Amino acid sequence: MDSAELLDILGNENRRRILRLLARRPCYVTEISDYLGVSPKAVIDHLRKLEDAGLVESRTDDQRRKYFSISRNLRLEVSVSPYEFGMKSAYPASANLDASRWRYLSLNVQLDATDADEDEADEAEDTTETEGVTETEDPDEAKPEEAVGTATDLAAELDELQQLQRELSLAQRWVHGRIADVQDRLGDVLDGEAESRLHAEVLAAVAGGATTTEAVGRTVEAPRHVVESSLAELADRGFVVREENGEWTLAE
C-alpha cells in the first residue's frame, strides 16, 4: 500500500495500541475496548480503517464472536534529514537472503583509519598560539586542486554510504521476517495457545536481561498484572525461575 497512507493510519495512537495488542494475540471488540478504555463503537471504527488498509483481518469463532488479528508482515521506513525526506513500505525480504554477498554491510563494523584521524582532530582546536595571538585557518584559502580532491573523496563516500543505507534497509527487512518466523516457532513450542505471543515476548525480555517484573513490563510494554500472570504461568511450566532475590531468570 502507499506509504503515505500507511503513515496517516498509524498516526493515531489508539490504532497503534490496537496493533500492539493484536501482535500479542487475536482479540474481539470488547477485549480491545476494555484494553484501550474507549467505546466499542470507536474500536470498530479504528478496526475498519485497519482492515481497509489490509493490516488487520477477522474471523468468527464457534460462539459467533468476531476475532481480529494482524494479517501480514509489513515494514514502514521513514527517513528525515536536512538533505532527504522519504517514506517507503516493504514486505520482509526472503529468509534465504545471502548477507555474505553484500558489498558494504558487515556485522563486524570498525572505524576506519580516516574516521579515527578525523575524530582525533575534532578533539583538538585548529588554532595556534603565537605571542598571545590566536591564528585560525581560513577554509577559503584552500587551493583549487585540494578542493577538487576533497569534493571527489566526499562524493565517493556519499555514494558508498547511500549504498550501505540500501543494504541496511534490506537487512532490516530480512531481520523483520526472521523475527516473525522465530516468534511463530517459539509460539508452537509454547503450545500455540492464545497467550503464546505474549509469553514469547516475556521470555525474550528475560533472555535479554530484564530480571524484574517492572523491567519485563517496560520491555514488552504491558501492564504489571499482565506480566505477573505471564511470568507465573511460565514459571509453572518450567520455562523461567524466580531466584531467592526475586529476580527472574531462564530455566537451565
| Structural domains in the chain (count) | 3
Q: Is residue 179 part of a domain?
A: no
CATH code of the domain covering residue 33: 1.10.10.10
* Amino acid present at 167: E
Q: How high is the pLDDT of residue 110?
A: 42
Residue 57 contacts residue 50 (beta carbons within 8 Å) = no
Q: What letter would DSSP give residue 239?
A: S
Q: Is residue 147 part of a domain?
A: yes
103 — phi, psi (to 5°)? -80, -40
Do 16 and 56 belong together in one domain?
yes
Q: How high is the pLDDT of residue 235?
A: 92
6 — phi, psi (to 5°)? -65, -40
Residue 46 contacts residue 12 (beta carbons within 8 Å) = yes
Number of other CB atoms surrounding residue 190 within 10 Å: 19
214 — phi, psi (to 5°)? -65, -45
Do 50 and 104 belong together in one domain?
no
Residue 230 contacts residue 196 (beta carbons within 8 Å) = no
Q: How high is the pLDDT of residue 68?
A: 95
Q: Is residue 58 part of a domain?
A: yes
Do 61 and 105 belong together in one domain?
no
Q: Is residue 216 part of a domain?
A: yes
Q: Is residue 84 part of a domain?
A: no
Q: How high is the pLDDT of residue 207?
A: 92
Do 229 and 198 belong together in one domain?
yes
Do 195 and 165 belong together in one domain?
no
Q: For the chain, 252 residues long, give each residue's pLDDT as a single digit of tens.
A: 678 888 899 999 999 999 998 988 889 999 999 888 899 999 999 999 999 989 999 999 888 889 999 988 888 888 787 767 888 887 776 767 776 666 656 644 444 444 444 444 444 444 434 344 444 555 555 567 777 778 888 888 888 888 887 888 788 778 877 877 887 788 788 775 656 778 888 998 999 999 999 999 888 888 888 889 999 999 998 999 999 898 999 987
Do 158 and 197 belong together in one domain?
no
Range of the domain at 123: 98-127+139-172
Q: Is residue 132 part of a domain?
A: no
- Mark 102-135 as b/e (b = at least 16 C-beta within 10 Å): beebeeeeeeeeeeeeeeeeeeeeeeeeeeeeee
Residue 136 contacts residue 127 (beta carbons within 8 Å) = yes
Q: Is residue 181 part of a domain?
A: no
Do 54 and 120 belong together in one domain?
no
Q: Is residue 93 part of a domain?
A: no
Residue 173 contacts residue 91 (beta carbons within 8 Å) = yes
